């Protein structure tokens, strides 16, 4: 039996019939999968590539050299080129995203925040969208390298850190979980004298008193740009009368853990608002939230899955100022916006997105950002309550997860092994591929024949019209199995069927096969 090694497979995939692969051809092909050559997970490969190319006369790699370069990152590279990432057709997905970007770019409404000069100086024309999938596929369009302050976009991050460090129960001794129904900086507590939730200022200030570590931010962003605007910090403090008022009110109502220095906490709060990111680096932060707390590009576990789930829940209900309810209704995704014009958007288990454009609508959300989020969900079935099976009108850029396929083969073969015809009926009805093969190229029919389950064999042949003579990796057919294990009834079924079998090729044949299936079910 011939087995092709992954390195060879990759070579043949990229070489397209040529003897050698030019280095730039490899990096171009790599980028089309969504991976960046600067991805920390590809460090070994890229270093080796650089060194190896120098030793060649033409900058091209033969099979041997190519394998040498890719071998240390072969798993990730194979996944990428075999389209095993969460967005398999990344190029066409990016083209769609660019269209949405252009559409929102033409919007001109809104006001740039001007309560401090550091915000007022931004041009209203700035507009950027960056995304990072849970597999670390990156796409970025517009002014994605301009630093801006997270402002309120930091609130979910520090809440996640607080829950990561202390657990949900402890954090919520101090802070509620309910939308406030009031402006984000209102001087107001809930009936238990706690801030309503960690996404409004009062809750975020209390949350600040619960966290210590700052290098979380770097880890969240996979070590991409995270800076600090001291000027913004100073201005926030000078113009922060309302936040001081909230601080004193919280102190009076004993909202902080015992021994908290309230004014020091306020300073820390203003500092956290003044953390700088770029659209690109923030998209990695969002992707870490989309990926259960694991940074997609470093693979590091930054936050506990529990803390991320809590954070996404509260972003969903409270993240968009007084537009939160409507955003949850129309977009149906967890998000948090900030006064600098950022919207940190999470498509759980798929990707993180940062939208950034300074002009804000009356409720304080980025005008272009809101447009993009709305358009995204009308195009793709990313709304939390979009039905993935029956809502075919929208695009589903996700692949059916690799794990899911493995699971379905296992379920299928197990049902065949145990003779569970009713399970097989259900699989057939949910349009499972009944001819799927396991790693030994064995089908359900092989297994059922070997086990002597005549009813299953008949169902697979007559109702599902599976190929009656598939060969496994030793070249055996279901008939060979039935003979080998002495299941004479199965041999008879297979032989009788074989004499009349013709594969359904025309659409009419397929239709009649389907009718047949209906009848038998």
Report the interface residues with ligand GLU, using CB under 6 A: 151-152, 184-185, 201, 236, 243, 273, 338-339
- Residue 293 and residue 232 in contact, taking contact as beta carbons nearer than 8 Å: no
How near is the Cβ of 219 to ligand GLU at its closest, in Å? 23
Nearer to ligand GLU, 10 or 339 (CB): 339
How near is the Cβ of 399 to ligand GLU at its closest, in Å? 36
How near is the Cβ of 203 to ligand GLU at its closest, in Å? 12
How near is the Cβ of 242 to ligand GLU at its closest, in Å? 6
Kindly provide the b/e burial profile for residues 360-393, where b requires at least 16 CB atoms within 10 angstroms of the residue's own CB: bbebbbbbbbbbbbebbbebbbbbeeeeeeeeee
| Host H or E run for residue 68 | helix 63-70
Nearer to ligand GLU, 314 or 449 (CB): 314
Q: Is 518 left (phi over 0), alpha (psi -120 to 50) or beta?
A: alpha
Distance CA 313, CA 89 (A): 29
β-sheet bridge partners, residue 255: none
Nearer to ligand GLU, 156 or 222 (CB): 156
Closest C-alpha among 131, 80, 129, 140 to residue 105: 129
State the pairing for strand pair 148-149/60-61.
unpaired
Distance CA 469, CA 83 (A): 29
Give the CA distances from residue 170 to residues 52, 54, 72, 269, 313, in Å, rounded to whole numbers and listed in that order.
Answer: 54, 57, 43, 20, 17
Nearer to ligand GLU, 7 or 369 (CB): 369
How near is the Cβ of 349 to ligand GLU at its closest, in Å? 27
How near is the Cβ of 273 to ligand GLU at its closest, in Å? 4
How near is the Cβ of 224 to ligand GLU at its closest, in Å? 21
State the pairing for strand pair 342-347/275-277.
unpaired
How near is the Cβ of 403 to ligand GLU at its closest, in Å? 38
Distance CA 77, CA 359 (A): 40
Provide the greatest CA pair distance for the chain: 89
Nearer to ligand GLU, 53 or 175 (CB): 175
**CA atoms within a 13 Å half-sphere pointing along the CA-CB vector of 82:** 14
Locate 200 and state its tokens: 């409004």
- The SS3 of residue 49 is helix
Nearer to ligand GLU, 10 or 162 (CB): 162
Nearer to ligand GLU, 133 or 201 (CB): 201
Count each helix (H run) and each strand (E run) in the chain, helices first.
25, 10
How near is the Cβ of 174 to ligand GLU at its closest, in Å? 18
Nearer to ligand GLU, 136 or 179 (CB): 179
How near is the Cβ of 234 to ligand GLU at its closest, in Å? 12
Give the CA distances from residue 26 to residues 76, 77, 477, 495, in Å, rounded to whole numbers and listed in that order.
Answer: 14, 11, 40, 51
Distance CA 428, CA 464 (A): 7
How near is the Cβ of 218 to ligand GLU at its closest, in Å? 21
How near is the Cβ of 510 to ligand GLU at its closest, in Å? 57
Nearer to ligand GLU, 35 or 273 (CB): 273
Nearer to ligand GLU, 76 or 344 (CB): 344
Closest C-alpha among 168, 291, 116 to residue 219: 291
Nearer to ligand GLU, 188 or 417 (CB): 188
Closest C-alpha among 216, 358, 400, 357 to residue 300: 216
Nearer to ligand GLU, 148 or 459 (CB): 148
**Measured in Å, how far apart are the chain's first and last C-alpha atoms?**
39
Closest C-alpha among 57, 51, 55, 66 to residue 19: 66
């Amino acid at each position: 039996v011939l087995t092709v090694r992954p390195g060879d497979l990759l070579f043949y995939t990229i070489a397209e019939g040529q003897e050698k692969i030019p280095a730039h051809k490899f990096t171009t092909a790599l980028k089309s999968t969504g991976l960046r050559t600067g991805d920390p997970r590809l460090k070994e490969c890229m270093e080796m590539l650089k060194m190896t190319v120098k030793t060649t006369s033409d900058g091209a790699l033969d099979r041997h050299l190519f394998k040498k370069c890719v071998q240390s990152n072969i798993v990730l590279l194979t996944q990428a080129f075999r389209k095993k990432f969460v967005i398999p057709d990344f190029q066409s997905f990016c083209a769609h995203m660019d269209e949405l970007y252009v559409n929102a770019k033409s919007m001109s409404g809104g006001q740039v925040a001007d309560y401090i000069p550091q915000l007022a100086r931004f041009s209203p024309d700035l507009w950027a969208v960056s995304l990072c999938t849970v597999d670390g596929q990156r796409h970025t369009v517009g002014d994605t390298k301009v630093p801006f302050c997270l402002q309120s976009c930091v609130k979910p991050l520090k809440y996640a850190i607080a829950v990561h460090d202390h657990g949900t129960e402890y954090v919520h001794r101090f802070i509620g979980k309910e939308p406030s129904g009031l402006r984000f900086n209102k001087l107001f507590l809930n009936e238990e004298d706690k801030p309503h939730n960690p996404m409004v200022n009062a809750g975020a200030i209390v949350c600040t008193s619960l966290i210590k570590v700052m290098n979380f931010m770097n880890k969240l962003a996979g070590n991409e740009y995270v800076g600090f605007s001291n000027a913004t910090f100073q201005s926030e403090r000078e113009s922060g009368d309302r936040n001081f008022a909230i601080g004193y009110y919280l102190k009076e109502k004993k909202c902080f853990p015992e021994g908290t220095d309230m004014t020091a906490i306020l300073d820390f709060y203003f500092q956290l608002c003044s953390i700088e990111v770029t659209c690109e680096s923030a998209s990695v932060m969002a992707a870490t939230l989309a990926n259960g707390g694991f940074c997609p590009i470093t693979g590091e576990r930054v936050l506990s899955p529990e803390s991320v789930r809590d954070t996404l829940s509260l972003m969903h209900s409270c993240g968009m100022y007084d537009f939160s309810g409507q955003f949850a209704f129309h977009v149906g995704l967890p998000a948090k916006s900030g006064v600098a014009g950022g919207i940190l958007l999470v498509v759980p288990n798929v990707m993180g997105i940062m939208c950034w454009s300074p002009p804000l609508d009356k409720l304080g959300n980025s005008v272009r950002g809101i447009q993009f989020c709305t358009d995204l969900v009308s195009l793709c079935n990313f709304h939390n309550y979009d039905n993935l099976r029956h809502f075919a009108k929208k695009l589903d850029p996700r692949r059916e997860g690799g794990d899911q396929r493995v699971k379905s083969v296992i379920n299928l073969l197990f049902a065949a092994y145990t003779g569970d015809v009713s399970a097989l009926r259900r699989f057939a009805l949910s349009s499972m591929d009944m001819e799927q093969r396991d790693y030994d190229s064995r089908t359900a029919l092989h297994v059922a024949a070997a086990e002597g389950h005549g009813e299953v064999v008949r169902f697979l042949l007559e109702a599902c019209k599976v190929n009656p003579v598939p060969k496994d990796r030793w070249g055996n057919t279901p008939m060979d199995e039935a003979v080998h294990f002495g299941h004479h009834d199965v041999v008879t079924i297979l032989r009788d069927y074989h004499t009349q079998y013709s594969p359904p090729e025309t659409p009419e044949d397929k239709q009649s096969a389907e009718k047949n299936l209906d009848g038998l079910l």
